[in-house]
Amino acid sequence: MKSPSKKSNAFNIAVMPGDGIGIEVMDATLAVLDAVERRHGLGFHRDVRQGGAHYFRETGTALDEASFQAAEKADAILFGAMGWPDIRYEDGTEIAPQLDLRFRLRLYAGVRPIRAVPGVPATLNDPRAKDIDFVVLRESTEGMFASRGKGVIEDDRLARDTMVITREVTERLSHFAFDLAARRGQRKGRKGTVTLVDKANVFKSFAFMRSVFYEVAALHPEVEARHHYIDAMALDLVRRPWDFDVLPMENLFGDIISDLGAGLIGGMGFAPSADIGDEHGLFQPSHGSAPDIAGRGIANPTGMILSLAMMLEWLGTRHGSDACIAAAEEVRTAVDAAFGSGAVRSFDIGGQDGTGAVARAVIDRLGGSA
């Protein structure tokens, strides 16, 4: 990762709330950011940009060119969710400018930490479920999604989409995975493990991906490298998810497995994510716009708040801001304290605390108070 020379505690962020609960969890998360700014002497200038399915219905554009450029110029992008099932392009696919952002800004590393938050009821009935802490690393610029907008239907007889795996992106993703596992290993005082998830027994593209992965693995002897078939991984993530560390995989596999992962730790409302490239970073919860609960103030903002923590850590590391890194840790700790103490219980886990109440509980616990 290139490190900009600027050493600073002032940042410009592009803010894209989007559709449905994206707007609600963004509001809650910006309140947490307000508190963090005051506590740590940080400054975040926010360039708020509209976009998404409803914006498309009004204007005919999902995200304006000016907004793309604002995202490109910003130090980081904070994103809610975009898309709405009833609003579609003529070919039947959904409005998803987040995919365009990933492709245009070359955000190849979809980082989706799956970590059990204390106090949140585990899906698996096993005492080890509290130790779940792995990262789905979803390649986000190629794979099956390279075919987006390019698939063909021939004579109403057959349809075809094509998967693309390149050496360049596989190398970058692999280095990213090993660096991440090395940092995680250091923090936990043990050797990190990267497990490539593929289907190399059947497809040439995955056999190629695996061979490139092991070339890169040889350059990272401090981390253990393994591989696992996607079908077996689906089984093992339900049987023994606490055994895994960093899991790079192709785009469509990562799309599916990250939802499975969220299901292990209380649901989509607890799952943060970051889309990282060599030059840009976009931070958003793993979930979508959730039309089934939108507009009722009951969405759980935790995934988005934890995505904010990922943004703070990434900015802090890139720009040499210790204040930012400390703020990231403080936000994560406050989330754990809010749920771990039993003080707050969001609707998605059977509680009565709405979006604002969860955010307030987190804000109250920043710095270990309350």
The residue ranges that bind Mg ion (CB under 5 A) are: 255
Work out what residue 237 binds among Mg ion, ligand NAI, none; the CB cut-off runs from 5 to 8 Å by kind: none
Helix (H) or strand (E) holding 15: strand 10-18
Sheet holding 246-249, edge to edge: 43-48, 10-18, 76-81, 281-285, 272-276, 109-115, 133-139, 246-249, 193-198, 224-229
Nearer to Mg ion, 198 or 255 (CB): 255
CB of 159 closer than 8 Å to CB of 151 = yes
Nearer to ligand NAI, 17 or 316 (CB): 17
How deeply is 201 buried, as exposed, middle or buried, from its count of CB atoms within 10 A (0-12, 13-18, 19+)?
Answer: exposed
Nearer to ligand NAI, 4 or 85 (CB): 85
Residue 361 Cβ vs ligand NAI, minimum distance, rounded to whole Å = 15
Nearer to ligand NAI, 135 or 299 (CB): 299
When CB distances to ligand NAI are compared, the closest residue is 288
Nearer to ligand NAI, 176 or 283 (CB): 283
Residue 308 Cβ vs ligand NAI, minimum distance, rounded to whole Å = 14
Task: Find all residues with CB under 8 Å of 49, minimum gap 6, and list them.
Answer: 14, 15, 16, 63, 64, 67, 70, 71
83 near ligand NAI (CB under 6 A): yes
CB of 303 closer than 8 Å to CB of 285 = yes
85 near ligand NAI (CB under 6 A): yes
CB of 258 closer than 8 Å to CB of 136 = yes
Nearer to ligand NAI, 43 or 85 (CB): 85
Is the dihedral angle over the CA atoms 215, 218, 219, 222 positive or is it negative? Answer: positive
86 near ligand NAI (CB under 6 A): no
Work out what residue 113 binds among Mg ion, ligand NAI, none; the CB cut-off runs from 5 to 8 Å by kind: none
- Rounded CA separation 324/320 (Å): 9
Q: Which of 37, 72, 94, 364 binds ligand NAI (CB under 6 A)?
A: 94
Nearer to ligand NAI, 225 or 262 (CB): 262
Chain centre to alpha carbon of residue 134: 13
Work out what residue 70 binds among Mg ion, ligand NAI, none; the CB cut-off runs from 5 to 8 Å by kind: none
Helix (H) or strand (E) holding 273: strand 272-276
- Rounded CA separation 45/293 (Å): 30
Residue 268 Cβ vs Mg ion, minimum distance, rounded to whole Å = 9
Work out what residue 292 binds among ligand NAI, Mg ion, none; the CB cut-off runs from 5 to 8 Å by kind: ligand NAI
Site for ligand NAI in 245-304 (CB under 6 A): 267-269, 284, 287-293, 299-300, 303
Nearer to ligand NAI, 185 or 303 (CB): 303
Residue 279 Cβ vs ligand NAI, minimum distance, rounded to whole Å = 20
121 near ligand NAI (CB under 6 A): no
81 near ligand NAI (CB under 6 A): yes
- Rounded CA separation 64/70 (Å): 10
How deeply is 235 buried, as exposed, middle or buried, from its count of CB atoms within 10 A (0-12, 13-18, 19+)?
Answer: exposed
Interaction mask 31-70, ligand NAI, x per CB under 6 A:
----------------------------------------
DSSP codes of every residue in 174-203: HHHHHHHHHHHHHHHTS--EEEEEE-TTT-
Residue 259 Cβ vs Mg ion, minimum distance, rounded to whole Å = 6
Contact residues toward ligand NAI (CB under 6 A) are 21, 25, 81-85, 94, 98, 267-269, 284, 287-293, 299-300, 303, 348
